A = this chain, B = another copy of it.
Amino acid sequence: MAKVTSQDVAKLAGVSQSAVSRVFTPGASVSKEMADKVRQAADELGYRPNILARSLITGNSRIIGVVVSYLNNQFYPEILEILSAELRKRGYHPLMFMASENDDMDEVMSEILDYQVDGVVLLSVNMSSALAERCRAASIPVVLFNRYLEKDRFHAVTTNNYEGGSKVAELFIAAGHQRIGYIAGWEETSTQRDREKGFVDTLKKAGIELFDRQVGNYNYEETIQATRTMFTSQEYPDAVFFANDHMAFAALGVLEKELGLKVPEDVSVVGFDDVPLASWPVFNLTTVRQPAKSMVAETIRLLFDVDSNASQPIHIEIDGPLMIRNSAKVPQGYTS
């Protein structure tokens, strides 16, 4: 009834406790007989090694700290789901830390380190350089997911956001849009900055200036406001790029239900992320896809397959295709 330890198994199998340990340690040298004997005893008692005790010696907790800010934006649950599954395949599991923006990241990081995690993934969370140091000191690999800090020493995985923004601009240009608006995400984030820059740069090359710009802060309520502001003046845009899908969804409600505009006839709407919702018939949102699976795969690689001490921080940028649906006018014969 109480917890069964390797000691118990050893006794039952009539071997030493260290023999039991070896049987459960991949790559230790044990005879087949021994292995069989021990395994049988273990099964009988329902023995499984205590990961926590093991971690004390090996230094591997098989825990990965995952810091998440919001789960409202469907992109994060999606990533969380893939990440968890992928970690599990490798015998690891994510320990979750919800950290809102006003949370002290220093404190959060301390809590994480208390668990002796083998790695940290920051899902759309920013972090200071001071914290970078602490992690490197503990030689714990850290991967920024969907964020990128210029001067800092973290690995990072992002979509090629600049390129993505650029693709949206090209679509608008090809469709002949003239009054082009942009709804910005949270200004502190690299995703926001890169997407906007790619977008605006490409418009400029075609001689087009942004017609209007508002800030939605990646946030539902603020986006509602921003959209109202943008579409409340006499002349409003005929095409708007939203820095993520979440904001585009919010706006779609305002545009169609509140202001009675037709999408894409009156205004083209494009988002970024391609969360599952985007392909739902109600939205059918044209958007730049963030390739979740590849992004997670790269994250895992940075976590496990890169010697953190030796190498420079690596920034992986993955190309995201434009998913053409029907929230934006499609130019004749347009592809990619």
**B81 touching A98 by the CB < 8 A rule?**
yes
**B80 touching A93 by the CB < 8 A rule?**
no
Which residues of B sit under 8 angstroms from A85, Cβ to Cβ?
A: 98
Does A51 sit within 8 A of B, measured CB to CB?
yes
Does A235 sit within 8 A of B, measured CB to CB?
no
Closest chain B residue to A86 by CB distance? B98
**A52 touching B55 by the CB < 8 A rule?**
yes
Choose from B50, B81, B94, B98 the contact partner of A116 (Cβ within 8 Å): B50
Closest chain B residue to A66 by CB distance? B96
Q: How many copies does the complex hold?
A: 2
**B97 touching A93 by the CB < 8 A rule?**
yes
Which residues of B sit under 8 angstroms from A97, Cβ to Cβ?
A: 84, 88, 93
Choose from B49, B115, B256, B283 the contact partner of A52 (Cβ within 8 Å): B115
Does A137 sit within 8 A of B, measured CB to CB?
yes
> Nearest chain B CB to A121's CB is how many angstroms away?
12
A69-88 CB mask vs B (1 if < 8 Å, else 0) is 01110101110110011001
Known contacts: A95-B95, A113-B48, A256-B282. The answer to whether A71 contacts B78 by CB under 8 A is yes
Does A229 sit within 8 A of B, measured CB to CB?
no
Cβ-closest 8 pairs across A and B: A253-B281, A71-B77, A84-B98, A77-B77, A253-B282, A71-B81, A257-B281, A52-B52
> Nearest chain B CB to A277's CB is how many angstroms away?
8
Does A252 sit within 8 A of B, measured CB to CB?
yes
Which residues of B sit under 8 angstroms from A68, Cβ to Cβ?
A: 84
**A111 touching B95 by the CB < 8 A rule?**
no
> Nearest chain B CB to A276's CB is how many angstroms away?
6
- Sample of 8 A–B contacts (CB below 8 Å): A50-B116, A66-B96, A85-B98, A88-B98, A88-B111, A93-B97, A94-B96, A257-B284
A95 CA / B46 CA spacing, docked (Å): 22
Which residues of B sit under 8 angstroms from A53, Cβ to Cβ?
A: 56
A250 CA / B116 CA spacing, docked (Å): 43
Known contacts: A52-B61, A56-B53. The answer to whether A96 contacts B84 by CB under 8 A is yes
Among A94, A114, A276, find the residue whose CB has the most chain B CB atoms closer than 10 A: A114
Does A3 sit within 8 A of B, measured CB to CB?
yes
**B250 touching A72 by the CB < 8 A rule?**
no
> Nearest chain B CB to A198's CB is how many angstroms away?
28
> Nearest chain B CB to A78's CB is how many angstroms away?
7
A175 CA / B276 CA spacing, docked (Å): 34
**B250 touching A280 by the CB < 8 A rule?**
yes
> Nearest chain B CB to A216's CB is how many angstroms away?
14
Does A44 sit within 8 A of B, measured CB to CB?
no
Q: Could you tell me which residues of chain A, from 254 to 283, have a CB within 8 Å of some CB in chain B?
A: 254, 256-258, 276, 280-283
